[in-house]
Amino acid sequence: MGAAIRHYTQVLDFVILWSDEPATPTLMDLGHEEIELQVTTGESDRLFCAVVNVYVDDVDSRFATYKARGLNTSAKPQSPVHQGPVDQSWGRREFYVTDADGNTLRFSQPIN
């Protein structure tokens, strides 16, 4: 959980909204602009990762900020959308971040 907290709060701008145990949480709500995630260690192997769409105003500057904070893009070297923002055929410019637990956040904005 400690690695997840650091990843989401120090790199990706989430804030802790609630935690079951401040010192050693097993369940936590994280907020980011207009979304909220719940992160838990209580589900163990019963869940198989998640995908969350995060809509932002400027996907390129968001990616640059996260890279400057230490976002590691080496885990999926064959995935261009994990390496930086990409214009998608469905009308969004996106980049993906997959955390150490296999959960993927898709940061996107509409292509004008």
pLDDT tens per residue across span 29-51: 888 887 878 787 766 555 556 67
Q: What is the pLDDT of residue 82?
A: 95
The amino acid present at 90, given as its one-letter code, is: W
Q: Read off the CATH number of the domain in which 74 is found.
A: 3.10.180.10
Average pLDDT over residues 18-30: 85
The model's pTM: 0.71
pLDDT value at 6 more than 60:
yes
Q: Helix (H, G, I), strand (E, B), or coil: what is residue 33?
A: coil
The mean pLDDT of 99-112, rounded to a whole number, is 87
Confidence (pLDDT) at 95? 96
Cα angle: 36, vertex 51, 61; to 5 degrees: 70
Reference 32, options 101, 102, 97; nearest CA is 97
Q: What's the domain range around 6?
A: 2-110
Structurally, the chain folds into a number of domains equal to 1
